[in-house]
């Protein structure tokens, strides 16, 4: 009996560190900073060895898939590709060329100065097969900054981008999000500023943090839009659903 009690005591002692470690792991599972909002990039980046899988469902049954990797401590690399009419009865299914994404965070921010990153994103929206280009161009080369303002969880994101090196136009973008208890985030964006040949757009949505590693976005793009694209197509408001999964190797 004494031997049995001794064995049970040893097993309990061995289990205590394991249980403590389990609780510690749960405590460390925190929501990571967002690397992007709806269309607007932030200064947030994936950690070294970090990995993000993104899937966006957009109008006409289209699906946009993307992969992003933290290849260095401050450097992220990624690729994305869209497939039109993948979901639903539309045909034929149309695959678009893959696009690349690069982001380097060169400043972590201070009390007054926002965190800052420079990057490139070639992924556009609304592909025109006749001209073989996106009617809404990707960000191209961009500079972005992010800073918490006013209240905890309230962050402002702003920057400049050059989507087309042939025209060399400088565009701007603004984003604001409020994250409540790492459970839900409300997002507002004002994108493609400063030039009438590429009309500005207002986006709004919310992000649900289902787990610290999985997020679900529901958003509206081009809210209250008017006018036409360069090919004559009418601009329309669009509803999207987006899923993101973050993990590490």
Closest C-alpha among 248, 244, 231, 216 to residue 66: 244
Write out pLDDT tens, residues 127-164. 988 888 898 889 999 999 999 998 899 999 999 999 98
> What Cα–Cα distance (Å) separates residue 154 from each residue in 39, 111, 157, 176, 244?
18, 15, 10, 7, 21
**Which CATH architecture group holds 39-248?**
Beta Barrel (2.40)
Per cent of the chain over pLDDT 70 is 86
The yes-or-no verdict on residue 15 having pLDDT over 60 is no
Task: Read off the pLDDT of residues 59-91 as tens digits, 9 standing for 90 and up.
Answer: 989 999 999 999 998 999 999 999 998 998 777
**Distance in angstroms (rounded) separating the CA atoms of residues 137 and 133:** 8
Handedness of CA 99, 55, 44, 166 (dihedral sign): positive
pTM: 0.84
Q: What is the DSSP letter of 56?
A: E
Mean pLDDT (the chain, rounded): 85
Q: How far apart are CA 119 and CA 37, in angstroms?
A: 15
Calculate the dihedral angle through the C-alpha atoms of 205, 232, 137, 52, rounding to the nearest 10 degrees. Answer: 40
What is the pLDDT, as a whole number, of residue 197?
63
Residue 169: pLDDT over 90: no
d(CA 169, CA 198): 10
Closest listed residue to residue 58, CA positions, set 113, 123, 5:
123
Backbone angles phi, psi at 48, to 5 degrees: -55, 130
What contacts 24+ positions apart, CB below 8 Å, involve 4-12?
Answer: none
Domain range summary for the chain, segments of one domain joined by +: 39-248
CA angle 103, 104, 107 (to 5 degrees): 135
Confidence of residue 194 (pLDDT cuts 50, 70, 90): confident
Q: In this predicted structure, what is the pLDDT of residue 168? A: 72
Token couple for 43: 């200064």
Name which of 4-8, 122-126, 174-178 the model is least confident about.
4-8
């Amino acid at each position: 009996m004494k031997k049995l009690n001794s064995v049970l005591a040893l097993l309990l002692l061995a289990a205590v560190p394991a249980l403590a470690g389990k609780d510690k792991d749960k405590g460390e599972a925190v929501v990571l900073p967002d690397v992007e909002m709806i269309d607007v990039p932030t200064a947030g980046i994936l950690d070294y060895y970090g990995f993000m899988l993104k899937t966006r469902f957009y109008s006409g049954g289209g699906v946009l898939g993307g992969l992003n990797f933290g290849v260095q401590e401050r450097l992220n690399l990624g690729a994305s590709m869209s497939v039109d009419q993948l979901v639903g009865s539309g045909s034929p299914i149309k695959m678009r060329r893959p696009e690349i994404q690069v982001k380097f965070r060169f400043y972590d921010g201070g009390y007054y100065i926002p965190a800052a990153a420079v990057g490139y994103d070639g992924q556009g929206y609304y592909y025109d097969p006749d001209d073989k280009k996106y009617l809404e161009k990707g960000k191209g080369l961009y500079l972005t900054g992010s800073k918490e303002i006013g209240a905890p969880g309230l962050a402002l994101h702003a920057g400049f981008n050059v989507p087309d090196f042939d025209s060399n136009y400088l565009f701007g973008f603004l984003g604001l999000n409020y994250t409540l208890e790492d459970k839900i985030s409300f997002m507002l964006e004002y994108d493609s500023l400063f030039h009438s040949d590429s009309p500005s757009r207002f986006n709004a949505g919310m992000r649900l943090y289902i787990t610290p590693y999985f997020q679900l976005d529901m958003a509206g793009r081009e809210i209250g839009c008017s006018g036409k694209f360069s090919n004559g197509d009418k601009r329309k408001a669009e509803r999207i659903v987006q899923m993101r999964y973050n993990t590490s190797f």
